[in-house]
Structure 1
């Protein structure tokens, strides 16, 4: 398809362009004025593009969060079992990252603190995870989080460190923990409930400690995001009561409602975590994936038309309040039900969450249940098109900015070919990260194409980018065939987006092996910041393969 400039969007005057000398190495600051130039392209000349296309595409959006949850608890996804050699663990992790790239996802949410343990280097007392070596506290012989970050960034994937805040152990026994474990050294900090052990959210020292763990991780590692899941107060167990009476008596303050006090404890933790993360690294994203139902309309006029467990009253997680307060950069509710399922209809819930984030600046990514595909209950999961249709609907709703899939093994298993069908329909092209203006980033400097030359296997595109100003996370590369009779716009869709390349040095290159000899093409590049904000301009070159 040639020259993606709809006639209705063609300006009445010529586009503002500036010619950049190939190889001059000029790096353009945002806001620099661009002189007028001719409207027909000269081959090999590098143009700086300032005008933007405004057309949108429901099948190839320019920006979209596409995440993959990789769970480590109980070795669900990674490592596949404890005690594997370092090389095997690393190979398995690379395979999950490669799966994300293959499916044109752009973020991996890796569980690095499954149960008050860790998969990174720290001196705050929490032990190395037993899911790595089989023995809690045993050094795995490498730094898993550092390795994951490096390998993800090598593939232009964002890496979010997924943390379970309150779970201490998958069993109730304190003696099963290493002697130096903070929960064992402070036995009053945790309680047993439902066959597991949890930190008590009502104890201020617990809240401070977990907050310090999060802040320390962000200080030590250049993670793209910190991610909490849906576990706050534990899920209800029939006939069991949460044993927090002593904490309630000691720390209740002016609260007369136990439920309100519990919600306050979680709210305070979320507020403090948000502040700590952004104090240490202002550009690090903070997001939460709560249970999909906040409140039912039968409980609150603000609730959804559903009839299921409520995070507000069952987990004491007031997720709507976090959104309204702006304590999260994104919310990824786990909408793990099919369309038309009366107790919790996906269609009802996605629309409810879109209304919840409206006007807040908080981004909405839907949590998608890849693991339920093929399940007979509810029956909707027997439909191979269910996940595909979730995305079709989501892209039609203003305020829905992406998806996250649980879990990695299920995406790879691809039951009913459901993910394959989804990807063929919706992920034909890569997508750029969703802009997060709430992180107060600025536009990065514009990268400059220095050459585009034919090689034996394709066209080698070279460019320079600046290491000054707002840090450049990646370079977006578009290519489409053209006669060169029309000068291009900055692309507003991913229809012609060919690659997203992680910025590593000032001078880089990319080999395009998808060109046909004798055809003329436009190449265009833009810089993308860590917060998803693009350079105000692009550079483009017209070449013949």
Structure 2
């Protein structure tokens, strides 16, 4: 009893105090395109419309960058339509107001470019199994997968779905993923609704079950179907680009824990997602469980994900939309407690659903994150199960003052030969020597390409005196530190890395 009281007091009183931010942490936000919920507001039907649509996305990315977010989950596929130039599915009507309408640019290519320009990762967020209601499917016409691949599609409760029990479903989904991974420099592919509809005993797959069930229960067969899709896509992505992260956002509670009930809403039983099985098999790099709950609906289930992670990255999705009075009666300290709990128990970060509530600063959530939690930049956690060998260190760092507070840093590149997985660079600065590269407050920039960086502090009188640079590969491995040599150059000492 005393231990339980201590835990409750810990959560209630100690956790609201923001701790020093970690150096490695995923800070993600979902940018929702379906129905234009987050983006876009403007239709791209003219050069001016294209410019405004792109400017709306840039505004979102600029604000997230200013608050030290580092991961964008950009909606790339919605309900059988997409936001990139696909040879398989049509453009989403939200871009132009017309189904299949070409917006005059490629939104995914634009998002990737702008994220990378700001040192952020861009993950292609793809809704997988649902295909939309009858009206939506009819609007897609002959371009709908229900017309072109009718054998793998089924109607259920006035909507259409891909049939996870059909062997060709995984191949169709992989064809979409292959387009994205091969054509775009995405950092991850992120799968939403990779599951059956909730509590669906009458989902129309009885023919497939009789054909492929092989004595398994219906529930187990369905779980195996989803797992096979996950496995097939994971292996397919790794064969193309091993560093591209594969993730899902499953239902937020895996199943009942030993002490806490999921109250009938969990991944394993309700929607046939065996996520802990995926983690144990190693066919996920990240999992973003949709943990839109409070109190004992959050904390014990977050610990359960961590305990079953098999070393993979667990990034709880936080329901910040409940901060809006039309959505729920949450107060912002609930989100603060959850973030501190995530950090205290060494989970790998958090994702915010959805970006609109950050942009609107609902209950000051954006300000609180910027001023109290994301006060310094964070690097991406590494993926040692893919690659644990750091790149070689850059060398011969030099400093040249340009006047007006500008400082040009140059270095010789890392000598790694894998051009597809070429490292980028992290720039550190400090008022003390040697630069402490373990302190995230010293990170000036990340994902720098090329071999030079122009340092332009916002307040010239607070300009850093000492600098360092490291190389980081796309699996998050950072090069070793070499701080044995110094060079004196117009009042600044420079560290050779």
Give the structure-1-normalised TM-score. Answer: 0.80
Aligned partners of 1:82, 1:304: CA distance in 2, in Å?
A: 47
2:249 is matched with which residue: 268, 289, 300?
Answer: 289
Structure 1 residues 501 and 274: CA distance shift in structure 2, 3 A: closer
Partner of 1:107: 71
Partner of 2:179: 216
Q: What is the CA distance between 1:496 and its match in structure 2?
A: 2.1
Listed as ranges, the matches of 1:474-493 within 5 Å are 474-482=424-432, 487-488=433-434, 490-493=436-439
Partner of 1:68: 29
CA distances 1:148-171 after superposition (whole Å, capped 9, x unpaired):
111111111111000111121244
Do structure 1's residue 136 and structure 2's residue 88 form an aligned pair? no
Aligned partners of 1:347, 1:397: CA distance in 2, in Å?
A: 10
CA distances 1:494-521 after superposition (whole Å, capped 9, x unpaired):
1322322521x2344333344428x872
Structure 1 residues 86 and 235: CA distance shift in structure 2, 3 A: farther
CA distances 1:412-431 after superposition (whole Å, capped 9, x unpaired):
11211123223321111111
Partner of 2:279: 323
Q: What is the CA distance between 1:376 and its match in structure 2?
A: 8.0
Aligned partners of 1:99, 1:409: CA distance in 2, in Å?
A: 11
Do structure 1's residue 361 and structure 2's residue 324 form an aligned pair? no
Q: Is the 8 A contact 2:470 2:478 kept in 1?
A: yes
CA distances 1:171-220 after superposition (whole Å, capped 9, x unpaired):
46743322133321232322222342211111111221111211222111
Partner of 1:420: 367
Structure 1 residues 541 and 273: CA distance shift in structure 2, 3 A: farther
Residues 419-428 or 155-164, more deviating: 419-428
Aligned partners of 1:433, 1:83: CA distance in 2, in Å?
A: 33
CA distances 1:397-419 after superposition (whole Å, capped 9, x unpaired):
03x01111111111111211123
Q: What is the CA distance between 1:315 and its match in structure 2?
A: 1.0
Structure 1 residues 510 and 178: CA distance shift in structure 2, 3 A: farther
CA distances 1:325-347 after superposition (whole Å, capped 9, x unpaired):
11000111111112x2x5x2x22
Q: What is the CA distance between 1:453 and its match in structure 2?
A: 3.6
CA distances 1:346-384 after superposition (whole Å, capped 9, x unpaired):
221221111111xx22011111112111448864x1x22
Structure 1 residues 384 and 174: CA distance shift in structure 2, 3 A: closer
Q: What is the CA distance between 1:58 and its match in structure 2?
A: 4.3
Aligned partners of 1:128, 1:467: CA distance in 2, in Å?
A: 41
Q: What is the CA distance between 1:316 and its match in structure 2?
A: 0.8
Q: Is the 8 A contact 2:26 2:349 kept in 1?
A: yes
Do structure 1's residue 161 and structure 2's residue 124 form an aligned pair? yes
Partner of 2:465: 521
Do structure 1's residue 535 and structure 2's residue 479 form an aligned pair? yes
Listed as ranges, the matches of 1:144-223 within 5 Å are 144-171=107-134, 174-223=137-186
Partner of 1:118: 82
CA distances 1:265-292 after superposition (whole Å, capped 9, x unpaired):
1000000010000101111111111110
The secondary structure found in structure 2 opposite 1:404 is strand
Aligned partners of 1:258, 1:117: CA distance in 2, in Å?
A: 30
Q: What is the CA distance between 1:467 and its match in structure 2?
A: 6.4
Structure 1 residues 69 and 541: CA distance shift in structure 2, 3 A: farther
CA distances 1:74-127 after superposition (whole Å, capped 9, x unpaired):
21112225555222221111112112102110110101111121222232x211
Partner of 1:397: 345
Name which structure has the greater RCO, CA cutoff 8 Å, separation 6+. Answer: 1
Partner of 1:388: 336
1:496 is matched with which residue: 442, 451, 465?
Answer: 442
The secondary structure found in structure 2 opposite 1:439 is coil
Aligned length in residues = 466
Partner of 1:311: 267
Residues 241-250 or 150-159, more deviating: 241-250
Aligned partners of 1:120, 1:469: CA distance in 2, in Å?
A: 31
Please, which runs of 5 or more residues in structure 1 have no aligned partner?
1-56
Do structure 1's residue 277 and structure 2's residue 277 form an aligned pair? no
Q: What is the CA distance between 1:446 and its match in structure 2?
A: 1.6
Structure 1 residues 542 and 351: CA distance shift in structure 2, 3 A: farther
Q: What is the CA distance between 1:536 and its match in structure 2?
A: 1.3
Question: Which structure is larger by alpha-carbon Rg, 1 or 2?
Answer: 1
Partner of 1:451: 398
The secondary structure found in structure 2 opposite 1:286 is strand
Aligned partners of 1:377, 1:132: CA distance in 2, in Å?
A: 26
1:347 is matched with which residue: 285, 291, 299?
Answer: 299
Structure 1 residues 501 and 284: CA distance shift in structure 2, 3 A: closer
1:510 is matched with which residue: 449, 452, 455?
Answer: 455
The secondary structure found in structure 2 opposite 1:403 is strand
Please, which runs of 5 or more residues in structure 2 have no aligned partner?
1-17, 493-497
